[in-house]
Amino acid sequence: MARGGLGFTLVELVAVLTLSSILGLVVWRNLSLPMRAFVDVKQRTAMVATARLALARMRRELTLALPNSVRVSSDGLALEMLKTSASGRYRADVVPGDATSDSLNLSVTSDSFQTLGAWTIPTSVRTSADVTACLAGSADCLVIYNTGNPSSCAAQPAGTRTNAWCGDNLAGIVSAVSATGVISVNRAAAGTVWPTGSPEQRFFVVDTAVSFVCSGTSLSRYSGYALANTQPIPPSVSGNLLATGVAACAFSYQTGSATRAGLVNLSLTLSLTNPDGVAEKVTLFDQVHVPNSP
- The alpha-carbon radius of gyration of the chain (Å, integer) is 30
Instruction: Specify the pLDDT at position 11.
Output: 74
Q: pLDDT class for 34, splitting at 50, 70, 90? A: low
DSSP β-bridge partners for residue 218? 215, 244
Cα–Cα distance, 255 to 146 (Å, whole number) = 13
| Cα separation, 247 vs 282, whole angstroms | 9
CA 35 vs. chain centroid, Å, equals: 38
Round to whole Å and give the CA distance between 95 and 53: 49
| pLDDT recorded at residue 273 | 81
Between these two residues, 143 and 117, which has the higher pLDDT value?
A: 143
Between residues 32 and 58, which one has the greater pLDDT?
A: 58
Give the helix ranges, DSSP H, for the chain.
10-62, 131-136
- Quick check: 251 pLDDT over 80? yes
CA distance 279 to 262: 36
User: Of residues 7 and 80, which shows the higher confidence score?
Assistant: 80
Cα 234 from chain centroid (whole Å): 13
Q: Give yes or no for residue 135 having a pLDDT over 80.
A: yes
pLDDT at 258: 73
Give the pLDDT confidence score for residue 56 in this predicted structure. Answer: 96
* Every domain of the chain and the residues it spans: 45-80+209-290, 82-207
Helix (H, G, I), strand (E, B) or coil at 155: helix
Which backbone phi and psi does 44 adopt, to 5 degrees?
Answer: -65, -40
pLDDT higher at 120 or 204: 204
Band of pLDDT at residue 35, cut at 50, 70 and 90: low
In the prediction, which pLDDT does 30 show?
64
Res. 15: pLDDT tops 90: no
Q: What is the pTM of this model?
A: 0.84
Q: In Å, what is the CA distance from 133 to each residue of 28, 80, 148, 189, 205?
A: 67, 20, 21, 10, 14
pLDDT score, position 178? 79
Nearest partner of 170 among 197, 143, 192, 151, judged by Cα: 143
pLDDT of 31 reads 59
- What mean pLDDT value characterizes the chain? 88
**Which residues have CB under 8 Å from 42's CB, separation 6+?**
none
Per-residue pLDDT at 213 exceeds 80: yes
Helix (H) or strand (E) holding 285: strand 279-290
Q: How confident is the model at residue 173 (pLDDT cuts 50, 70, 90)?
A: very high
Report which secondary-structure segment, H or E, holds 40: helix 10-62
At 8 the pLDDT is 66
Report whether 270 contacts 253 (CB < 8 A): no
Q: Could you tell me the pLDDT band of residue 221, with boundaries at 50, 70 and 90? A: very high
The better pLDDT of the pair 280, 98 is held by: 280
pLDDT digits (tens, 9 = 90+) for 65-102: 999 999 999 999 999 999 999 999 999 888 777 766 78
Q: Which SS3 state, helix, strand or coil, does residue 29 take?
A: helix
